């Protein structure tokens, strides 16, 4: 598997943990984020990661900012991206099983009830269910028209 990962200054430490966790799972990571806290704009980082993903060769993307909200909204503005912002393991699982999310977002300044690594694992280990969920994903994507 191969992932594209990007972050802004609000999620430097968290993104470092995520990259390490993905690599520990044997996932190749193309890291496009910043490793210091010099301010950058999260919409720019979302665009960078999403455009790289859409160019091909990636299985999923991870984007992070201070809350995960701004960068996930930005990613979802890009045609072809379905970015989930899970708050726990259950939501991370459903992001893949029901919504076939191709991106997942987290916030570096958020205190999650479960470790981000567990949410990430839940997302990665889940499989899209298809069926009635495919119909709904198709409807989500039609909203881009």
Q: DSSP readout, the chain?
A: -EEEEEE-GGGHHHHHHHHHHHHHTT-EEEE-S-SS-----HHHHHHHHHHHHHTSS-SEEEEEESSSHHHHHHHHTSTT--EE--SSHHHHHHHHHTT--SEEEEETT---SS-HHHHHHHHHH-----THHHHHHHHHHHTT-
Q: Residues 79, 98, 129, 133: which is the catalytic one?
A: 98
**Catalytic site includes residue 65:** yes
**Catalytic site includes residue 133:** no
Q: Residues 50, 64, 65, 83: which is the catalytic one?
A: 65
- Residues with catalytic annotation? 65, 98
């Amino acid at each position: 598997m191969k992932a594209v990962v990007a972050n802004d200054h609000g999620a430097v430490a968290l993104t470092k943990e995520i990259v390490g966790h993905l690599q520990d799972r044997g996932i190749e990571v193309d890291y496009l984020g910043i490793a210091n806290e010099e301010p950058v704009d999260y919409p720019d980082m979302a665009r960078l990661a999403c455009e790289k993903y859409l160019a091909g060769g990636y299985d999923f993307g991870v984007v992070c900012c201070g809350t995960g909200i701004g960068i996930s909204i930005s990613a979802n503005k890009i045609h072809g991206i379905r970015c989930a912002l899970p708050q726990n393991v259950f939501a991370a699982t459903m992001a893949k099983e029901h919504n076939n999310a191709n991106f997942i977002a987290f916030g570096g300044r958020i205190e999650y009830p479960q470790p981000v690594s567990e949410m990430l694992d839940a997302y990665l280990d889940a499989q899209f269910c298809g069926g009635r969920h495919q119909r709904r994903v198709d409807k989500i994507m039609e909203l881009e028209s």
